[in-house]
Amino acid sequence: MKQLLKTLTESFGPSGYEDAIRKIVVTEVKPLADEVRVDALGNVIARKKPASGAKNPKKIMFAAHMDEIGVIVSHIDKNGFVRFTNIGGTFGRYTLGARVRFLNGASGVVGYDRLEQMDHWLPIDKMYIDVGATSKKDCPVKVGDVAAFERPFVEMGNRIVAKSLDDRTGVVALIEAMRAVKSTPNDLYFVFTTQEEVGTRGAGTAAYGVDPDIGIAVDVTPTGDTPSSLKMVMELGKGPCVKFRDVGMLSDPRVVDWMLQTAEKAKIPHQREVLLVGSTDAREIQVSRAGVMAGAVSIPVRYVHSSSEMVDYDDMKNTVKLLAALASKPVTF
């Protein structure tokens, strides 16, 4: 699981440009699924059919997004300095000094026009990317070129630090859950979505196509366990979080109870999540077609939307256990 996470986080796939991630995912899921297809928006939809003789199987859609935040070139000046804008939630406080890798292979470092006060909020429209060029002519990128942040995968004890753990942790958890589920009474759809960071777009089209009875997003959640953080109970090392609410959706109480009862019965460490910032693919799944019973399983991650996000490896393993337990038993509501 660690090797797969390393491969995924060290690959580049900003929203709308998930090709490299999609190739890895398709290679991993083909031997595990009964059907695999890619839709018009690039979502990978892998189906595990119910066991023969299953009565009234529930159609359950698990979704984790493949894309990551990034930047896109908007202007290049005469000296070859690159202006850019964001793809998704690219925060100024994490961007200055970051290294980026363009999809064409070019590298760059983010600088700032002039720093007058170091502790002030830094808008990205005052930043530029230095790609080592001396003029516009020798600049290796063009307007419209896309980049993601570049950082290596690092293990720090039981903690893992990497870029794009949001949501490559969820992608890995879905793949490993597929591997763990040998037989199921349910009709399972493991969906690896696109463009979540720019408005949960892929999940909307995928849910419309799958038309599930139940939808579960598998994503990350910010924690409340660092100094002066928001007062939220989610912590690293305490297990996956069962979402009650975030900015974009209220989880269906039936789905929440099902997830909590499953975790308790299987003795899987877990947490209860009320998220004060952000949302997930579950928001879009919930309102697809005539509506879907929806919820989310969240993996606690520190420093979300930075290039050095942090996850606890035990939380990942317990997330896989919870997803496999949910997928393997009949749903009675």
- Strands 59-65 and 70-76, bridge-based pairing: unpaired
pLDDT at 314: 97
Mind listing the domains of the chain with CATH numbers?
2-68+163-328 (3.40.630.10), 70-149 (2.40.30.40)
Average pLDDT, integer, range 113-140: 86
pLDDT at 47: 97
Active site residue 196: yes
d(CA 113, CA 123): 11
pLDDT at 55: 86
User: Which token pair is 17?
Assistant: 């440009």
d(CA 135, CA 118): 29
- If you average pLDDT over every residue of the chain, what do you get? 95
Average pLDDT, integer, range 105-114: 92
Contact (CB, 8 A) for 10 and 154:
no
pLDDT at 298 > cutoff 80: yes
pLDDT at 245: 96
Identify the band that residue 183 occupies on the pLDDT scale cut at 50, 70 and 90.
very high
Average pLDDT, integer, range 290-301: 97
Share of the chain above pLDDT 90, in %: 88
pLDDT at 118: 61
pLDDT at 120: 66
Contact (CB, 8 A) for 92 and 127:
yes
Q: How many CA atoms lie within 13 A of 80 on its CB side?
A: 14
pTM of the complete model beyond 0.85? yes
d(CA 234, CA 301): 9
Q: What is the pLDDT of residues 71-94, one digit of tens each?
A: 999 999 999 999 999 999 998 888
pLDDT at 332: 87
Q: What is the pLDDT of residues 203-248, one digit of tens each?
A: 999 999 999 999 999 999 999 899 988 888 899 999 999 999 999 9
Question: Catalytic one among 18, 196, 273, 284?
Answer: 196
